[in-house]
Structure 1
């Protein structure tokens, strides 16, 4: 599950709200062990996703770096190349 959580800091363009929420959702899924919670746990699950999303926003907004922003397309191409090498038959 956590393999889907991507680095969101220091990219150009910056991470979107949807990307941050998707990471929060993956994190809560991993912690809880649920990909889809039962009705009784649905409210707690949704609240946790909202709270983790808010904390992630604050974290990303407060981080600083001197490194130049990374290009999303270049990083995606590098990841595809690593995957092709890893899973080549």
Structure 2
């Protein structure tokens, strides 16, 4: 799927509505194959983003876990280290 969509569940601090909307936008862009829909498709595109964002927020609000929340900074550092190893860059 989209590599730019990040895990939003069980983070500290919790995911914001902006992050949920950004993930929804990336998902709809991937499905539609379009980053900028035509004027004829703009309304359908916007409705799809809103529906996906609402479903995502509902899912995150109802999921439960016994695991401790993950720290965003620690997760970002791990991702940066993985990228450095993968692409041969310095972290």
Length-normalised TM-score, structure 2 = 0.95
Aligned: 1:10 with 2:13: no
Number of matched pairs: 89
CA distance in 2, matches of 1:19, 1:38: 24
Task: Provide the rounded CA distance (Å) in 2 between the counterparts of 1:32 and 1:17.
Answer: 22
Structure 2 residue runs of 5 or longer lacking an equivalent are none
How far residue 28 of structure 1 moved from its aligned partner, in angstroms, is 0.3
**1:88 Cα deviation after fit:** 0.8
Residue 66 of structure 2 is matched in structure 1 by 66
Q: After superposition, where does 1:29-68 map in structure 2 within 5 Å?
A: 29-68=29-68
Separation in structure 2 between the aligned mates of residue 4 and residue 86 of structure 1, nearest angstrom:
16
How far 1:15 moved relative to its partner? 0.2
Which sections of structure 1, spanning at least 5 residues, go unmatched?
none
Name the counterpart of 2:28. 28
CA RMSD in angstroms comes to 1.1
Quick one: distance in 2 between partners of 1:33 and 1:48?
13
